[in-house]
Structure 1
């Protein structure tokens, strides 16, 4: 663009201007209006934004890619790269296979950029056989000596248990490369051989940042936080990956105090957390029920994303946190301001409303979901059936149960059946509930029979309770609660002799009833005391770079 002064102002790359899926779709629409295939450079940038730059937009990248009649090498590599970093790395291998097949007919050929990403996908899948085939293609292409490809091969073979091949590649020249050492260490750690990984780490002559991160992450993922912390404290430098590994490790272990303490330490060192850090912290707030800290994190995130809005992943994490903490008003506020939503977003809000007694609101959101043409999945129907059960909406529950099967071709699983049994039991339709169980395509588990037994107690149905209890004891006979529940049903009906017989049966079966107890955990409060102490915590100002 030319300014009036005559100087040219260079516009930022298209992918840099795309910060969300919504913006990607807007750019896509603009390209269509201008002639979708008329600007290959813009197409490449759109594909890069969808596959790599914006998290959660890979589905749109596939949509764009399939509209391009003859994708070039950059486009293939970009989509393979994006797919290799998702939870479905198999798609990267499928794209590579398609690329290799077409190359034999004059299409684009894989190059030294392609292979590392394909090998990464094989590593993530644990597909040693497929990786070996790709290795053969590398040799055929004459690229085995390329350092990046060689390191990827070492990591893949080590991860998939082919240590002989990995050792052969890990020759004298490779041993001079810190990245090759990291690949070997990472491969052993991925395979679960933490001892071999540590031996390699200790043997490594020059440990780079990646080596430290690989070893710390390996320990943290296994829940071995003591050796992870020992290495973390020894590390000569720490990047955000290192901090994230430790914080997420503490969160997974339920050590929320240590996670929050480490977050504060991170702030004091001047290191800025990223989105991964915040996802871990929001998970800690959800697990510990600490709404106050969650709100502070939300406030800081709102400042950072005031212009573009939350990404889908962050928005979902906030909704989950508020729902777990029981603040559905705040969860709804996040939900309605999110510009982009996926099925998990809808599931979280529908399920949260249902579990917190807002059955009508939950069903209303489900209706809006259908109206907006968002395809529900099996989790969606579990959530809305819970709403129908808790809200006494039997007719609606039947309608949605049939809708799930007839329109969306989703076969009900034991959770869907359990929701239906619970709904009928709560409504007092116990005979219908028993008949429904007889029609189930899966074997009813102890949860379903226990649900029905509880409903029999509420409605005073002794005969049906006896039948439910017999089925329950067949499924599981070592739970004292099942005996006590039927004993209490007899007692409620004044049949004290039968109640006593059930207690005696429990004793004769060797089933012990554990004494009730209360556990008070003060660690959560302690962990965030200083964090929530002031209205403006210094660690929450401009924390994401």
Structure 2
């Protein structure tokens, strides 16, 4: 019987085989036999229920378990363990609650599984209540339970409690060390985390990665890089942490350089690596490296592009100005989501392909995917670039009337830009007055820029006064107004603005540009 071999993992082939066994049990009258049914549940829970289990498998295991009249602690533990490792750890908590309702006492095997579920769910209150039950039943001195409590509190509970649990019995456990270090690092206390890291009697790869990631999340890339270089062994997680950190900190060039080091070290990238690299290429507008990463994506995915990587590729190609390639990737994605549509709609709009962008939006409306706030930013930008004023008003109203999306400041800015580009300056000013949201500096600067293009000095003065009432240190506002006066030959006005700029101590930032040289 499996009951006598809790550490043994049965190797029955698949769910189909187990269902055939269940059918034979029913045919032969063993369906009401608690031992047979219990062993079948145990087999499913130990061999099929886990992190990669499908809902079909876990549902089947729970259906069978519900047929056992009076499951004991052992059977509950089996199900709680499987559920705590499954994609839906909430079921482990439900089973634990059911145990109490049926007056089945938990033991030293029950609580680690329940606490793992609480940790995965970040259920602090429930985990703390379980901690209280542990103490009430006298399992607080059990090493496994104590370690699991430490991990729970370090990750999402009370860090002071985690530290108090870290006694001599835990100091020989590298998991306990790493969990406590991660707890302090995650909450920004890198000084204590580093002190614990330095005191560790033996460091494993996890502890190195925890500390490196802690520095990365605080933006301390120099400290992270020093520790990364010191690490005796590095895996893909180590490299990913550093590459992602460089990208988030705006050091995309360093991210690409580190990836080259990663390849030379013989470490194979995964999806996380490639997503960071595509962001780096998009930020730099580096089409050449972007194409190389695309080739690596296709190599890893064996030609079947995931939605996540596909979206990143669309965004990268759009930001690099290669709209054709961006569209090709879009059409190749099998399971398009709202991000896929947004990326291509916004990308097309920003590169002046307004009519094509609007056509894509109309196609999106015919799908089951519902547009969101970002979708309508792209749509309104498209209307602005295509000069589709009536369409712009229609879509602006459609947001709230059909999709229940309240326009935000970005949508209003797009409307002002659309009207300003079309020379409808009075209508743009009227729109600003009717806004439910308080106009910000970007709204007034957009109107000021449109006034400069179309030569409306009087309205420009209004916009300029609004900008000065918000802040007087933005050199671009002075330059726009001065240039407007100059373009109209009103040199006195231009001189007054320049003098006001000097008196306010505002200096114009010197313009610069760069050219990427190709060998």
Same fold? TM cut 0.5: yes
- In structure 1, the residue matched to 2:512 is 518
- In structure 2, the residue matched to 1:88 is none
- In structure 2, the residue matched to 1:535 is none
Secondary structure of the 1:207 match is: coil
CA contact (8 A) 2:485 2:491 kept: yes
Deviations 1:391-434 (A, max 9, x none): 11111111111111011111111111111111111111111111
CA contact (8 A) 1:119 1:152 kept: no
CA contact (8 A) 1:115 1:138 kept: no
Q: Which has the larger radius of gyration?
A: 2
Q: Which region of structure 1 is more displaced relative to structure 2, 176-185 or 320-329?
A: 320-329
Give TM-score scaled by structure 2 length.
Answer: 0.79
- In structure 2, the residue matched to 1:248 is 244
Shift of 1:263: 2.1
Which residue of the other structure, out of 308, 317, 329, is the alignment partner of 1:313? 308
- In structure 1, the residue matched to 2:497 is 502
- In structure 2, the residue matched to 1:361 is 356
Which residue of the other structure, out of 273, 278, 295, is the alignment partner of 1:277? 273
Deviations 1:302-361 (A, max 9, x none): 233245x22121111111111111111111111111011221111111111111111111
Distance 1:402 1:76 in 2: 51
Which residue of the other structure, out of 335, 344, 357, is the alignment partner of 1:340? 335
- In structure 2, the residue matched to 1:438 is 433
Shift of 1:11: 6.8
Distance 2:65 2:432 in 1: 53
Shift of 1:383: 1.3
Give the 3 Å change call, closer, same or farther, for CA 346–98 of structure 1 in structure 2: farther
Secondary structure of the 2:171 match is: helix
CA contact (8 A) 1:479 1:511 kept: yes
Shift of 1:495: 1.9
**In the alignment, structure 1 residue 292 sits paired with structure 2 residue 271:** no
- In structure 1, the residue matched to 2:231 is 235
Give the 3 Å change call, closer, same or farther, for CA 172–140 of structure 1 in structure 2: same
Secondary structure of the 1:237 match is: coil
- In structure 2, the residue matched to 1:113 is 113
Secondary structure of the 2:116 match is: helix
- In structure 2, the residue matched to 1:467 is 462
Deviations 1:460-515 (A, max 9, x none): 2121111111112112222121122112212222222222222222223332323x
CA contact (8 A) 1:155 1:186 kept: no
CA contact (8 A) 2:350 2:382 kept: yes
CA contact (8 A) 1:120 1:152 kept: no
Shift of 1:149: 5.5
Give 1:195-210 correspondences, 5 Å limit.
195-210=191-206
- Structure 1 residue runs of 5 or longer lacking an equivalent are 1-9, 15-38, 55-59, 85-91, 530-545
Give the 3 Å change call, closer, same or farther, for CA 424–142 of structure 1 in structure 2: farther
Shift of 1:134: 4.7
**In the alignment, structure 1 residue 409 sits paired with structure 2 residue 381:** no
Give the 3 Å change call, closer, same or farther, for CA 12–131 of structure 1 in structure 2: closer
**In the alignment, structure 1 residue 391 sits paired with structure 2 residue 390:** no
Distance 2:515 2:213 in 1: 27
Shift of 1:169: 1.0
Give the 3 Å change call, closer, same or farther, for CA 143–393 of structure 1 in structure 2: farther
CA contact (8 A) 2:416 2:428 kept: yes
- In structure 1, the residue matched to 2:257 is 261
Secondary structure of the 2:203 match is: coil
Secondary structure of the 2:321 match is: coil
Which residue of the other structure, out of 479, 484, 487, is the alignment partner of 2:479? 484
Give the 3 Å change call, closer, same or farther, for CA 397–511 of structure 1 in structure 2: same
Give the 3 Å change call, closer, same or farther, for CA 100–247 of structure 1 in structure 2: same
Distance 1:48 1:431 in 2: 65
Q: Which region of structure 1 is more displaced relative to structure 2, 292-301 or 177-186?
A: 292-301
Secondary structure of the 1:272 match is: coil
Give the 3 Å change call, closer, same or farther, for CA 329–81 of structure 1 in structure 2: farther
Give TM-score scaled by structure 1 length.
Answer: 0.76
CA contact (8 A) 1:353 1:362 kept: yes
CA contact (8 A) 1:359 1:390 kept: yes
